[in-house]
Amino acid sequence: MKIGITCFPLYGGSGVVATELGKALATRGHEIHFISSAMPFRLGMLSERIFFHEVGTMTYPLFETYSPYTLALTSKMVDVARHEGLNVLHVHYAIPHATSAVLARDILASKGLRVPVVTTLHGTDITLVGQDPTYKPVVEYSINQSDAVTAVSDYLRRETHAHFDVPGDIDVIPNFVDTVRFRPMNKGHFRAAIAPGCEKVMVHVSNFRPVKRTADTVEVLARLREMGVCVMLLLVGDGPDRRACEERARELGVHDRVRFLGKQDPVEEILAVADLFLMPSGSETFGLAALEAMACGVPVVSTDIGGLPELVIDGETGLLAPLGDVDAQAMAAARILSDDALHARMAEACVRRAHDVFGLDAVIPMYEAVYDAVVSGVRV
Ligand code: GMT
C-alpha cells in the first residue's frame, strides 16, 4: 500500500510515533511518503520505500508574518496523492493535519480520486488545544469527516467522546516500541562512570514542559536521600522547566546527585543503566517514554492519571502514585529500589509486556487493518 503520513517533525511524541510507524510499515513492504514541514527528526535515513515531501509556504506581503500552512499542507497532500498514487492519508495530531487531509481528500474526490483519511489522536490535540474555542469546531468537524479515527489509549478515546460531539467509533491503537532497539543491555562500564558509588540510578525523559512536572523528580530524589536510599537522577531532555529544576535541586541540596544530560538521541543507552523510570506527569494520554523504559527492563513509577494505568500495571511493571504527591512517589520508588527481588520481577514483567502488548508485531497490524478497511470501503 502507498501511505502518506503527516506529523509534526521536530517535537513531541506524536511525531515520534508517526515516524516509527512509517519506518515499521516500510520494512513490511509498504511505500511511505512523509508529508511534513521538515524531515521528522527520528527518520534518520531514507530507505528505498520511504520518501519525504517538504511542505513549503509562500511569503506574500498581505500575509505579513502569517502564512497559511494548513492550506500549503493541503496542496502538498493533493499533489503527492495524485502523482505518487497514494492509497491513504494518515495524519497524526488533529490540528491542523486532519483538517488539511479532509480538505485534500475532498479536492481529490472532485478530480475522481478516492484517498481516504485516517486520523490518529495523540494527546493535547484533544485534552487541551483542541478544546479551546479557537479550534474546537474545526477539530470536531475534521474528526467526524475522517474515514477512520484512532486514539493511542482508551482514556483518550473516552476523552474525545466526552468533550466533542463525535458519534462515530474510535479505534484504540496503543503506542508501540521497537524491542530490538529498546531492550535490556549490559552497560556496566557506562554505569560505573555515571554512578561510581553503589548508587541506584533513576531516569526521567521529557521535554521539560510544565505538564511533565519534571521538578517533582527532584523532590522525589531529595526524599529518597532523606530515607537513606543511595540514588542519583539522570534528567534527559530540555525545555522551559529545566532552570527551575536546577534551582530546586540546589535548594534541596541534591544538585550533586542530579545530572542534566540534555537532549539525547540514543536514549536506550541511558535507559540501559537505569534502575527506575520516573514519570510524574500531570497529563499523559499514553506515556511513550515510559514504554521505551519498560522495553529496556526499567520499572516505572508514574502518576495514576490519563492513559498511564493502561501502560503501567500497578504492582506488576511499576507503581502508580497520586498526581503531585511526591511523598507517595518517593515511597513507591524506595520500595522498588530497596527490594532486589521485586525489582527483578518487575523488570522482567516490563520487558514481557513491552514486547507482547506493545511490540511492533502486536501493534503495526492494527494500523494495517484500519488502512485495509478504509481503502476497501468497509469504513466510510
Ligand atoms: O504533549 C506532548 O508531550 C506531545 C504529544 C504529542 O501529541 O505530540 O504527546 C502525546 O502523544 C504521545 C504519543 O502518542 C503520548 O505518548 C503522550 O502521552 C501524549 N502527551 C500528553 O498527553 C501530554
Domain extents in the chain:
2-176+359-376, 188-358
Query: Rounded to an integer, what distance in angstroms lies between the CA atom of residue 119 and that of residue 324?
Result: 33
279-307 confidence digits (pLDDT tens): 999 999 999 999 999 999 999 999 999 99
| pLDDT tops 70 at residue 155 | yes
pLDDT band at 379 (very low <50, low <70, confident <90, very high): low
Side-by-side strand order, sheet with 200-205: 258-262, 231-236, 200-205, 276-279, 300-303, 318-321
What is the second-level CATH architecture of the domain 2-176+359-376?
3-Layer(aba) Sandwich (3.40)
Q: Is 123 close to ligand 1, i.e. is its CB under 6 Å away?
A: yes
Mean pLDDT computed over 327-355 = 98
Q: Which of 6, 7, 14, 206 maximizes ligand 1 atoms within 8 Å of its Cβ, making it the mutation to test the pocket?
A: 14
Q: Is 130 close to ligand 1, i.e. is its CB under 6 Å away?
A: no
Q: Is 14 close to ligand 1, i.e. is its CB under 6 Å away?
A: yes
CA distances from 11 to 14, 42, 263 (A): 8, 10, 11
Q: Which of 16, 17, 122 maximizes ligand 1 atoms within 8 Å of its Cβ, making it the mutation to test the pocket?
A: 122
Distance of CA 69 to the CA centre of its chain: 23
Among 59-73, 93-107, 312-326, the least confident range? 59-73
pTM for the predicted model, two decimal places: 0.95
Query: Rounded to an integer, what distance in angstroms lies between the CA atom of residue 48 and that of residue 173?
Result: 27
| pLDDT tops 80 at residue 49 | yes
Q: Tell how strand 318-321 and strand 117-121 pair up.
A: unpaired
pLDDT at 12: 84
Q: Is 212 close to ligand 1, i.e. is its CB under 6 Å away?
A: no
Closest CA to 52 of 39, 62, 67: 39
pLDDT at 269: 94
% of the chain with per-residue pLDDT over 90: 89
Intrachain domains 2-176+359-376 and 188-358 with the same fold: yes
The CATH code that applies to domain 188-358 is 3.40.50.2000
For residue 362, what are the contacts with CB-CB under 8 A and spacing of at least 6?
Answer: 176, 355, 356
Looking at ligand 1, which residue's alpha carbon is closest to its atom 3? Answer: 12
pLDDT at 193: 84
- DSSP E strands in 37-167: the ranges are 50-54, 88-92, 117-121, 148-151
Element holding 235 (H helix, E strand): strand 231-236
Please give the distance, rounded to the nearest whole angstrom, from the Cα atom of residue 291 to the centre of ligand 1. 13
